Copies of this chain bind each other. A is one copy, B any other.
């Protein structure tokens, strides 16, 4: 069995060195990693081909194969992503302000790396490079544990990154990959408290649940988005239709898409019949409560299951509500705290929605699809946190840091 203690020790030792690299040095290495990826496209494609062949043999569905597949263009995009990370401002070392306390101590809170970050993820091999570059930029050592399906691709990608580090006299343990796919090793990884400062799972609801239940390492929960749009009494109909269509159809497989529409009864007849005219041609299946179903031609009757489910597909649950309060109660009950939106012309409705809905991102008159590190101006994203501790919402470089207090004295003792 893989010796995770060794991985942990190596990562911890590496993290102490990485914390001291200056920004120029880190950026140069990221540039070189990008170049190395571009120069080794053939190797990466060949490793990826092995994964694809095995996946097909195992009967993987085409949508999943597409997540796993690398092409020349996708590899160039991945390398370009690394260059963009190099261009971002490095948060490490910053002290926003220092206070002089009553004893004359100068006290400042400095941004430092978290230390060792564990990432546990599924089939997309681009996560390997994205996560490695973001962790490297912030001076963290990373231990990656990717999915079995992408193991050849991941190994090849990590080898290229590690070779770049070695060629530039930086420890390759800055970026390590666990290739052992056993359940036991995954479990041990989640309990590697002595070495891991944080564990970030990236993947489907099953993975997230397993990590939450098994991990004793601090976890940042990501991703599950059972999101809603509430269509209020007083709306601009066209805007409501555009936002709803965008939030459901533009990219249904992602966590910031919506899964349920809540419609105020006063606008339900006209809004729902217009909405169906847009959604039916787009292939969206509708699951509606009794009242909403009366205004729809093609909807099936929704069950409790529909309110609870993150479809991640061209399916939409629809419910008629009789008040803003009913909508917010539904959202705070069934929502996963990801992204929630209200469409309304009423000032007080929008303010109440912003204050009373408990989610990482709450929108007024905009699509939930904007919950994304790039759209929020972070220039990068390691995931979207749906927990309240440490990070909430899109996580960029800042969320991969911690702080330490540094204190300058001149002999102060406590009285």
Give residues in A with beta carbon < 8 Å to B.
Answer: 16, 19-20, 99, 101-103, 105, 107, 109, 112, 114-115, 193, 197-198, 212-213, 215-216, 218-220, 236, 239, 242-243, 245-247, 250, 332, 354-356, 358-367, 369-371, 375-377, 387-390, 392-393, 402-414
Contact = CB atoms under 8 A, between A and B. Distances in A.
Contacts of A250: 413-414
Q: Tell me the dominant secondary structure on chain A's binding face.
A: mixed
A219 B411 CA distance: 35
Contacts of A410: 365-366
B218 A216 contact: no
Contacts of A19: 355-356, 358
Contacts of A115: 358, 388
A367 B414 contact: yes
Contact of A392 (B220, B356, B404): B404
Q: How many copies of the chain does the oligomer comprise? A: 2
28 contacts: A16-B332, A19-B355, A20-B356, A99-B377, A101-B375, A103-B375, A114-B388, A193-B212, A197-B387, A197-B388, A198-B389, A215-B216, A218-B389, A243-B413, A246-B413, A361-B405, A365-B409, A366-B407, A366-B410, A366-B412, A366-B413, A367-B409, A369-B413, A370-B412, A389-B402, A390-B390, A392-B405, A393-B403
A413 B367 contact: yes
Contacts of A412: 365-367, 370
Given A115-B358, A389-B402, A408 B218 contact: no
B370 A197 contact: no
Contacts of A375: 101, 103, 414
Contacts of A236: 411
A288 to B, nearest CB: 23
Nearest to A387: B218
Nearest to A359: B404
B360 A405 contact: yes
Contact of A390 (B389, B393, B411): B389
A412 B367 CA distance: 6
Nearest to A104: B366
Contacts of A216: 212-213, 215-216
A393 B212 CA distance: 25
Contact of A362 (B243, B360, B407): B407
Contact of A389 (B197, B212, B246): B197
Contact of A16 (B356, B389, B409): B356
Contact of A414 (B354, B369, B404): B369
Contacts of A198: 388-389
Given A356-B20, A389-B197, A370 B407 contact: yes
Contacts of A413: 242-243, 245-247, 250, 366-367, 369
A361 B404 contact: yes
Given A16-B332, A218-B218, A389-B390, 6 more contacts: A105-B370, A109-B393, A218-B389, A362-B406, A369-B413, A375-B414
Most chain B beta carbons < 10 A, residue from A193, A198, A369, A405: A405
